[in-house]
């Protein structure tokens, strides 16, 4: 199920909101600058999560083409927001988009005796690892200068707006 709905299932757990100090830039023609098949709806949010070692878990239902009927045997309800999982398994993040940013949730199912051996350091508890990830992600989300630098780096990596003219 979506992490954003965790309070409905567990009154003692909730997501931590990570708002973006500056919303991602709106880049006209972005779809022409990214590799074919790349979603551009939350391009910068996805790139930021990849930088922090998150991988896509479940894509938001509204991001699939209208002519594609998606169904999963393990999922009953459609997801409103795309959800990522940290490669360590210690945390989940949902992409809200714009200045709303993200929702962060520590994976409480990951613990000693379960999948705790997936952590780099056996002495480090999964909750501590998740908290470290959240703090680092929150720091960049709250830092206007760091976000601008990140957005600029991502745009620079895409190359120029227009391809150079052909010469024969």
12-59 pLDDT, tens digit per residue, is: 677 789 999 999 999 888 888 888 877 788 999 999 999 999 998 877
* Per-residue exposure over 19-43, b if at least 16 CB sit within 10 Å of its own CB, e if not: ebeebbeebeebeebeeeeeeeebb
Confidence of residue 162 (pLDDT cuts 50, 70, 90): low
Torsion angle in degrees (nearest 10) through CA of 134, 144, 53, 62: 100
Say if residue 120's pLDDT is above 60. Answer: no
Q: Where are the domains of the chain?
A: 3-158
Residues 8-22 have pLDDT tens digits of 676 667 778 999 999
> φ and ψ at 100, to 5 degrees?
-65, -30
Could you tell me the CA-to-CA distances from 47 to 35, 94, 123, 149 in Å, in that order?
A: 13, 13, 30, 13
Q: Which residue has better confidence, 30 or 147?
A: 147
């Amino acid at each position: 199920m979506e992490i954003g709905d965790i309070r409905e299932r567990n009154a003692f757990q909730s997501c931590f909101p990570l708002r973006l100090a500056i919303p991602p830039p709106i880049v006209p023609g972005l779809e022409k600058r990214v590799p074919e098949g790349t979603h551009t709806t939350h391009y910068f949010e996805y790139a930021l999560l990849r930088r922090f070692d998150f991988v896509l878990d479940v894509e938001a239902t509204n991001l699939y083409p209208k002519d594609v009927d998606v169904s999963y045997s393990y999922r009953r309800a459609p997801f409103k927001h795309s959800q990522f999982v940290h490669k360590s398994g210690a945390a989940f993040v949902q992409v809200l988009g714009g200045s709303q940013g993200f929702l962060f949730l520590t994976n409480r199912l990951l613990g000693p005796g379960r999948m705790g051996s997936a952590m780099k350091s056996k002495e480090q508890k999964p909750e501590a690892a998740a908290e470290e990830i959240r703090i680092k992600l929150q720091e960049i989300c709250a830092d206007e200068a760091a976000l601008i630098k990140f957005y600029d780096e991502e745009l620079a990596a895409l190359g120029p707006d227009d391809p150079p003219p052909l010469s024969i």
